[in-house]
Amino acid sequence: MLGVHYWELYKIRIEVVLNRNLPTNISPLRAFSAMAKPTTIDLCLGKPYEDMPAELRHIVPELFANTKYRMDYSENAGFAFVRDAFEKHYGLPKNSLILTHGAQEALYIALLSNLNPGDEVLIPNPGFLAYAPMVKMVGAKPSFYFLKKVNENFHYDLELITKKITKKTKVILLNSPSNPTGSELSSTLLKEIIKKFPKIKILSDEVYAELDYEKLYEPLAKKNSSIISVNSLSKSHALTGWRIGWVVSTDPKIYKTLLVAHQYVSTCASVPSQHLANALLSNSFEKIRDHYKNEYQLRRDIFFQALGKLSEKIEKPKAGFYAFLPIPKKYSTSLEFAKALLNKNDILVVPGEFFGTAGKKHIRISYSANVELLRKAGELISKWY
């Protein structure tokens, strides 16, 4: 019976209405995930399958017990020597980068400092749950553009974006690779978007981009001063609790407003976390990232193999750790099918409709999970089709 309480919570939708017409519920995804029993195969996980990299644990005592590592306030943007390490690593001027309290704060201050009340922000559908509430929180209006359905995947599409542009559109939010679909934006399409809408800013959420199995990540903000890149070490290096994120803009005016917002929202990023990021960047950054890339690619392959024939109809994600699967024809909504999967197979997945109306016929699978359980889940899921 564990989980029933949370299920009720989700159905009722907790009526927490912040001032400024804010979110009407505390994450339905959170409530739904909490339905997992101890035996449940949990494929809901929106974070790395393990705590933090073991080898970084060993760095920590030297970093933190040694008084040469100061632990008081850093500059608002982050210690200059840490931003130097980022500059060296990503080839971005250190004065274009602000270290933040995770990608969450980075996204928030990017929205806060670039929008006035009434402005519109284009958000992908399906897309990450938090975007719309965050846009509302800063007094702006979310407007959803569809990703184009090609076979069973969803692709960024210039025409579908263009359809939603109005005079009030100030920001287009892009998330590549996408949560929940895993699909990626091509650099050709990015160029087209910028060319067509030179006055609109691009907010690019790149938190899964280091985990691309085929190509090396480059912050999109390097390509054009109208692009604001957001990233973190949470997914790529399994450092979620350390809250190490950053926001990048090469436009000095945008950068200054970001810094003002950051100063008043959080002062500076956690200083111990800044020291850890610095140690990581100067040492095992690539090694750890490549380790996780391989692990996720392996898990993807095992899961897709277990899906059998079904896998032939679906584009394999090339990055991150999410797959977006179509639901069997006999179900009319993702929530119904997710519920059936839980009741019959004790497998927990995320109903695609949580990510927007376009997700109504899909479920999100996180393959950031145990290999044997993934195989078992894949086999059980394949039997529904």
Q: Binding residues for its own copies, per CB under 8 A?
A: 14, 16-20, 22-23, 26-27, 47-48, 51-52, 54, 57-58, 60-61, 64-65, 67, 70-74, 101-102, 104-105, 108, 112-117, 130, 133-134, 137, 139, 238-243, 256-257, 259-261, 263-273
Count CB-CB contacts under 10 A for residue 191.
12
Query: How many C-alpha atoms does 258 have within 13 Å on its Cβ side?
Result: 27
Give φ, ψ of 216 to 5 degrees.
Answer: -80, 140
The residue among 128 and 197 lying less far from its own copies, judged by its C-beta, is: 128
The residue among 211 and 269 lying less far from its own copies, judged by its C-beta, is: 269
User: For residue 189, what are its two tokens?
Assistant: 């399409």
The residue among 40 and 74 lying less far from its own copies, judged by its C-beta, is: 74
The residue among 136 and 155 lying less far from its own copies, judged by its C-beta, is: 136
The residue among 64 and 81 lying less far from its own copies, judged by its C-beta, is: 64
- d(C-alpha 239, C-alpha 269), whole Å: 14
Tallying the residues shown for the chain, one arrives at 385
Closest separation in Å from C-beta 235 to its own copies: 11
The residue among 108 and 331 lying less far from its own copies, judged by its C-beta, is: 108
Closest separation in Å from C-beta 67 to its own copies: 7
Closest separation in Å from C-beta 99 to its own copies: 12
Closest separation in Å from C-beta 374 to its own copies: 19
Listed in sequence order, the DSSP H helices in the chain are: 4-12, 28-33, 54-65, 80-90, 102-114, 131-137, 158-162, 187-196, 252-266, 271-281, 285-307, 334-345, 371-382
The residue among 169 and 334 lying less far from its own copies, judged by its C-beta, is: 169
- Strands 169-175 and 201-205, bridge-based pairing: parallel
Helix crossing, 271-281 with 54-65: angle to 10°?
120
Closest separation in Å from C-beta 57 to its own copies: 5
Closest separation in Å from C-beta 122 to its own copies: 18
Count CB-CB contacts under 10 A for residue 88.
12
Helix crossing, 80-90 with 271-281: angle to 10°?
40
Closest separation in Å from C-beta 241 to its own copies: 3
Query: Who's near 1: CB < 8 A, 6+ residues apart?
Result: none
